[in-house]
Amino acid sequence: MEKRISDSVINRLPRYYRHLTDLLESGTERISSRELSEKMNITASQIRQDLNCFGGFGQQGYGYNVELLRNEIAKILGLTQGYTAILIGAGHMGRTFATNTKFESRGFRLIGIFDTDSKKIGQEVARHTIRDYREVGSFIEEHQPQMAILAVPKDAMHNVAEEMIAYGIRAFLNFSYTELSREDEDIVVENVHLSDSLMRLSYKLLENNKKNTVTSQK
Amino acid sequence: MEKRISDSVINRLPRYYRHLTDLLESGTERISSRELSEKMNITASQIRQDLNCFGGFGQQGYGYNVELLRNEIAKILGLTQGYTAILIGAGHMGRTFATNTKFESRGFRLIGIFDTDSKKIGQEVARHTIRDYREVGSFIEEHQPQMAILAVPKDAMHNVAEEMIAYGIRAFLNFSYTELSREDEDIVVENVHLSDSLMRLSYKLLENNKKNTVTSQK
């Protein structure tokens, strides 16, 4: 079952995974594409098309087996690999991410939070004691996390990333309001730019206003 | 020039806009798709394909006029509409967003920050004094913002959204770790789930590891 899955399907998979997890936790065993469609606010035909990529989980008239489908998506997303992550930066961004992300139910373990600010070191965040960034090298050597989550100031990001790479980290989730871009084939990066979402909302609002104007002119 | 632009192009537009803004600020007047491609780490043919949708800004051998292209993208995204926004919630999420988003250079104005917590009300965040949430109704009536950015606790989100809708807000950027979904045709929502980015990174890491395993078996 090795097929190439398109980027836009991959981009939607985390959302499917979240909704299926909610359904499972509320005890739902099966769901039709129509019900899932209403819950997720996307068309049933889009859902059928997306989930067909993984084959065999939807049966005409019976819907999807929630647990099987969720487990298959988890496997595709690598959530069954037991990846561990460290968080660099315990400012507002780092704290909100550490506190609100359900790491375990997404298949991850957050194993350490680091900062350079002596006022923050020793504080508790999301049941972790913030560690001194100067110890990050030996920590990585000992615990071998696969991922680093960067929530550091813009100006510090590139230096921190280079240090993490030197310590052997190969996957970065970057919240630092500036893009990390690496040519190296063996390094993967997910840049999150929060202001992009504001621009996407702006687009939707403008389109909606155009539509409403057209409607009211009829 | 009214054509339908695909969702995946729309999703990439904010990133083009950011990069073009950086180029403009650094004084670059023209850029080839190859140079833009290296800067953005996507293929030159993808760039040409995306930007062809807006027509006329790339000339064979001359590249793109940075300012014209940026202005066109701004128009498409609604960034020239002068939309104003209020932020509800001045916790870690709200603060990091208010502090790090370049509202003005993205074409927006943040005109008020609100919270229910008496310890936060009166504090300064991003050159705004945090206001009492109880005054939000009269504030909206007076200033007529188009957008509300929700950075409130999960459990409070739906109530806050309903109140905003009652006050006349029609566009929501939702950072509240739970989805806002409205059937109403005239309401637009952009839900941001930060943990989705962790799952996308996990997928990339897994795919990369698979590729490297295949390569080293050769």
Q: What is the ipTM of this complex?
A: 0.92
Q: How far apart are CA B45 and CA B37, in angstroms?
A: 9
> Can you list the positions of beta strands (E) in A26-101?
30-31, 58-59, 63-65, 84-88
How many of the other CB atoms lie within 10 Å of CB of A154?
A: 10
Q: Where does the pLDDT of residue A7 fall: very low under 50, low under 70, confident under 90, or very high at 90 and above?
A: confident
Q: Rounded to two decimals, what is the model's pTM?
A: 0.91
The predicted pLDDT at position B104 comes to 87
DSSP state for residue A125 in the 8-state scheme: E
Measured CA to CA, the distance from residue A131 to residue B20 in angstroms comes to: 38
- For residues B53 and A201, the model is more confident at A201
Contacts by B93-97, CB closer than 8 A, 24 or more apart: B93/A92, B93/A96, B93/A100, B93/B151, B93/B175, B94/B125, B94/B149, B94/B151, B94/B175, B95/A92, B95/B125, B95/B126, B96/A91, B96/A92, B96/A93, B96/A96, B96/A194, B97/A194, B97/B149, B97/B151, B97/B175
Percent of chain B with pLDDT over 90: 69
- Any idea where the domains of chain B sit in the sequence? 7-77, 84-195
Chain A closest CA to B93's CA: distance in Å? 6
CATH architecture of B7-77: Orthogonal Bundle (1.10)
**Residue B120 pLDDT greater than 80, yes or no:** yes
B2 vs A97, residue with greater confidence: A97
Bigger pLDDT: A89 or B6?
Answer: A89
- Kindly determine whether residue A190 and residue B201, on different chains, have CB atoms separated by under 8 Å: yes
Q: Residue A50's pLDDT is what?
A: 86
pLDDT value, residue B174: 97
Mean pLDDT value across residues B173-193: 90
The CATH superfamily of B84-195 is NAD(P)-binding Rossmann-like Domain (3.40.50.720)
Nearest to A188 among B14, B92, B201 (CB): B201
pLDDT surpasses 60 at A54: yes
Q: Is the pLDDT of residue A3 over 60?
A: no
What average pLDDT does the segment B36-43 reach?
Answer: 88
Give the model's confidence band at B55: pLDDT under 50 very low, under 70 low, under 90 confident, else very high: low
What's the gap in Å between the CA of B58 and the closest CA on chain A?
23
A45 is written with which tokens? 């035909």
Is residue A171 within 8 A of residue A147, CB to CB? The reply is yes
CB contact under 8 A, A186 and B172: no
Flag the least confident range among A204-208, B51-55, B62-66. B51-55
Summarize the confidence of residues A97-110 as an average pLDDT: 92
Residue type, A51: L
Instruction: Inspect the interface and report whether the beta carbons of B199 and A96 lie closer than 8 Å.
Output: no
Q: Which CATH architecture has domain A84-194?
A: 3-Layer(aba) Sandwich (3.40)
Distance from the first to the final alpha carbon of chain B = 51
